[in-house]
């Protein structure tokens, strides 16, 4: 594959070409030339559109798919196509399948089945067998098979001793990483949304911020003891952001992420009982949302994730109290950012949090936009408007809060695995 992107704004904080408008010539995934004007080459495909940008490929952390076991919700093929349409050239999938990804055989299955798909799919191995928080899974064997990190995914580790042993165990792996969501299930219990005025007025049981902050404190203290590497997944409260801001100055191997949903919305969005905004973690207060925004701006929060969680109709199209937590978002995360967050977070913030930082923390090569660099790249228009329709979505599940909405910001194509995939 050989192509030239003409008059693109380069968005890559690691590159000397950052924010310059240039022609970029790419051959087999390697950048051959970057100039204000590259001569026409009849053998080379050219791509040009007004106000477009080119960045290193985007990486999503912690999305869920359904293969094996829940293929009616999402297959590896469908999630790869959804990721490509959303601008993601690599996705790191949680192990909550059936069977759970808790041994080298499941990791090998994911790697083999996804090898010819348009994006790179990196399996995250389970910390515990069956994700039951009882016995450590085969961590070293999974790493040798290709697991990129270790987590029980949507089942946060409740037992402190197990988390401590897992953190100590991954020290045997160069740059080994544990990923854990911080929720105390005993405190969260059967809560349905953020505990505040809105939950009371709607008559819904709340999930207090304490359920997150007490586990953030616990996980950080265990990290200090183990001296390992930990990523706290999907912060949602201002208290947690403040804790991370203080501790990250002393702990170089402490990282954190946030769902783009928690950056965009607060709990008042739940007043119409929209089940597609019933999320985990829940949408919190406006003060929490603003703290999360500030956390991205000052670098406290490293990664923005799509929080892509596919559910079939039988699990989602129910009364609010019975509906499952989560929404699909791989295809719409960037557009939602451009539509709802562009006044608070710049495009530089976006690329840093979905490309540069995930690449560094997860040790996933994504490339840099400078001559001689090889990698994956995303071509996008932050101003183009379009309407999202779940009927034309690549995802097999349809639980999206953006159905029928006109959004601003469109991915135009990706270079992944040395091939160009137009959107």
Please, which pLDDT band fits residue 196 given cuts at 50, 70 and 90?
very high
Percent of the chain with pLDDT over 70: 100
Q: Phi, psi at residue 194, to the nearest 5°? A: -60, 135
User: Once rounded to an integer, what is the mean pLDDT over residues 10-14?
Assistant: 97
- Work out the average pLDDT over 289-294: 98
Q: Is residue 231 situated within a structural domain?
A: yes
Polymer length of the chain = 423
Q: Quick one: 135 and 30 in the same domain?
A: no
Residues 257 and 142 in one domain: yes
15 plus 86 within the same structural domain = no
Judgement on whether residues 82 and 138 belong to the same structural domain of the protein: yes
Q: Report the interhelical angle of 210-226 vs 238-248 (nearest 10°).
A: 20
Domain span holding position 258: 57-362
> In sequence order, what DSSP letters do the residues of 202-253 get, joined into one string?
HT--EE-THHHHHHHHHHHHHHHHHT--EEEE----HHHHHHHHHHHTT-TT
Question: Annotated catalytic residue: which of 23, 152, 307, 376?
Answer: 307
- Confidence (pLDDT) at 423: 94
Residue 175 binned pLDDT confidence (cut-offs 50, 70, 90): very high
The Cα 260–Cα 151 span in angstroms is: 20
Residue 367 binned pLDDT confidence (cut-offs 50, 70, 90): confident
Contact 278, 253 (CB under 8 A): no
pLDDT recorded at residue 372:
96
Structure tokens at 309: 């969680």
Distance between CA 98 and CA 126 in Å, rounded? Answer: 12
Average pLDDT over residues 159-188: 97
Asked whether residue 203 falls in the same domain as residue 256, the answer is yes
Whether 83 maps to a domain, the answer reads yes
Per-residue pLDDT at 278? 98
CATH code for position 284 = 3.20.20.140
Above 90 in pLDDT, residue 40? Answer: no
Q: Is residue 400 part of a domain?
A: no
Asked if the model's pLDDT at residue 206 lies above 90, the reply is yes
Give the pLDDT confidence of 91-117 residue by residue, as tens digits: 999 999 999 999 999 999 999 999 999
Based on the domain organization, do 175 and 310 belong to the same domain? Answer: yes
Q: How many domains does the chain have?
A: 2
pLDDT value of residue 301: 98
The verdict on residue 44 lying in a domain is yes
Cα–Cα distance measured from residue 259 to residue 264, given in angstroms and rounded to the nearest whole number:
9
280 is known as an active-site residue: no
pLDDT at 41: 80
Whether the pLDDT of residue 1 is over 90: the answer is no
Tell me, yes or no, whether 21 and 165 share the same domain: no
The CA radius of gyration of the chain, in Å to the nearest whole number, is 21
Answer whether 421's CB lies under 8 Å from 84's CB.
Answer: yes
- Check which CATH number belongs to the domain holding 25 and give it: 2.30.40.10
Domain shared by 230 and 160, yes or no: yes
Judge whether residue 393 has pLDDT over 90: yes
- The token pair at 322 is 């019975």
Q: Is the pTM higher than 0.85?
A: yes
Please tell me whether residues 181 and 163 are part of one structural domain.
yes
User: Do residues 129 and 183 both lie within one domain?
Assistant: yes
pLDDT in tens, 240-268: 999 999 999 999 999 999 999 999 999 99
Same domain assignment for residues 47 and 65 = no
Verify that 255 and 348 share a domain, yes or no: yes
């Amino acid at each position: 594959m050989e192509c030239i992107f003409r008059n693109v704004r380069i968005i890559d904080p690691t590159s000397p070409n950052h924010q310059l408008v240039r022609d970029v010539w790419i051959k087999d995934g390697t950048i051959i030339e970057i100039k204000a004007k590259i001569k026409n080459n009849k053998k080379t495909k050219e791509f040009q559109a007004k106000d477009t940008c080119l960045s290193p490929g985007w990486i999503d952390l912690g999305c869920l798919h359904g293969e094996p076991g829940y293929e009616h919700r999402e297959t590896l093929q469908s999630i790869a196509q959804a990721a490509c349409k959303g601008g993601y050239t690599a996705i790191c999938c949680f192990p909550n399948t059936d069977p759970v990804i808790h041994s080298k055989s499941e990791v090998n299955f994911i790697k083999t089945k996804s090898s010819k798909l348009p994006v790179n799919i990196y399996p995250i191995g389970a910390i515990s067998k069956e994700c039951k928080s009882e016995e450590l899974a085969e961590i070293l064997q999974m790493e040798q098979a290709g697991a990129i990190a270790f987590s029980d995914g949507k089942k946060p580790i409740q037992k402190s001793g197990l988390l401590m042993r897992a953190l100590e165990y991954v020290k045997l792996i160069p740059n080994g990483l544990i990923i854990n969501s911080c929720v105390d299930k005993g405190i969260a219990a059967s809560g349905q949304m953020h505990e505040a005025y809105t939950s009371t007025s709607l008559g819904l049981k709340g999930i207090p911020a304490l359920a997150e902050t007490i586990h953030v404190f616990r996980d950080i203290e265990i990290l200090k003891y183990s001296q390992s590497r930990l990523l706290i997944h999907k912060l949602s409260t201002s208290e947690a952001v403040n804790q991370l801001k203080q501790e990250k100055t002393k702990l170089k191997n402490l990282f954190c992420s946030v769902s783009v949903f928690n950056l965009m919305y607060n709990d008042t969005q739940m007043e119409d009982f929209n089940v597609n905004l019933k999320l985990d973690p829940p949408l919190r207060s406006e003060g929490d949302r603003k703290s999360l925004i500030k956390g991205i701006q000052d670098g406290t929060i490293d990664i923005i994730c799509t929080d892509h969680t596919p559910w079939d109709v039988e699990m989602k199209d129910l009364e609010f109290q019975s509906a499952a937590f989560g929404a699909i978002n791989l295809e719409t995360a960037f557009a939602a950012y451009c539509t709802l967050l562009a006044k608070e977070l710049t495009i530089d913030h976006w690329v840093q949090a979905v490309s540069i930082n995930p690449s560094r923390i997860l040790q996933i090569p994504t490339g840099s936009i400078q001559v001689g660099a090889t990698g994956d790249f995303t071509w996008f228009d932050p101003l183009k408007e379009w309407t999202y329709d779940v009927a034309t979505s690549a995802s097999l599940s349809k639980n999206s809060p953006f159905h029928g909405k006109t959004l601003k910001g469109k991915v135009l194509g990706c270079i992944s695995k040395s091939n160009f995939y137009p959107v």
